[in-house]
Amino acid sequence: MSTADIKKTTEQKMAKSIESLKTEFSKVRTGRAHTGLLDHIHVDYYGTPTPLSGVANVTLIDSRTIGVQPWEKKMVAVVEKAIRESDLGLNPATMGDLIRVPMPALTEERRKDLIKVIRGEAEGSKVAIRNLRRDANEQFKKLVKDKTISEDEERRGQDDIQKLTDRFVAEVDKTLGEKEKEIMTV
């Protein structure tokens, strides 16, 4: 494995950490409704765990209400139960074959709790990025030990990996700041 390969794979893994963080942030709800909030909910569809979007049409009714309309009438109760039992703290209401999912307004205390949660997620991403840096540096040391690259190449590689690490940590901070601002907006 060359230094370029190490840099490339490390950068790809760090980018995946950022994507994972953004996915986690999308699950943290703000006062506004958006259909992506229900993306991670799976329902039991004939014995198979299926994403909610695979068994129902998910739409926005208004800025604070999500509408979920299962394609099969007998799935209404199953979908409603799955939404209620999710970790989102939502209370869906069924009207015929349409499930209305109102977004409760966030209190100041709940907003602060959500900020603690997303800061924890961000810190987890930073740790993952730093672990990737450590792994890459160990790969460089192994190449030097095997006499595949010189110590100068190792130092340059480690400098490049540090620059990547700094860039991705800054992106985590930027993403965190945007999400905090979104949560604190009333």
pLDDT, greater one: 87 or 170: 170
What is the tens place of the pLDDT at every residue in 63-79? 788 899 998 888 888 88
**Residue 178: its H or E element:** helix 151-184
SS (H, E, C) 93-156: EEECCEEEEECCCCCHHHHHHHHHHHHHHHHHHHHHHHHHHHHHHHHHHHHHHCCCCCHHHHHH
Rounded Cα–Cα distance for residues 26 and 37 (Å): 7
CA 147 to chain CA centroid, Å, is: 40
pLDDT for position 12? 93
Q: What is the pTM of this model?
A: 0.67
What is the tens place of the pLDDT at every residue in 30-66? 666 777 777 778 888 888 888 888 888 888 888 788 8
Q: Where are the domains of the chain?
A: 3-27+107-184, 35-102
Q: What are phi and psi of 43, to 5 degrees?
A: -120, 155
Q: Is 3-27+107-184 in CATH node 3.20.20.370? A: no
Q: Please give the class, per CATH, of domain 35-102.
A: alpha beta
| Helical pair 151-184 and 3-27, crossing angle rounded to 10 deg | 10
Contact 101, 76 (CB under 8 A): no
What is the tens place of the pLDDT at every residue in 101-154? 888 777 788 788 788 888 988 999 999 999 999 999 999 999 889 888 888 888
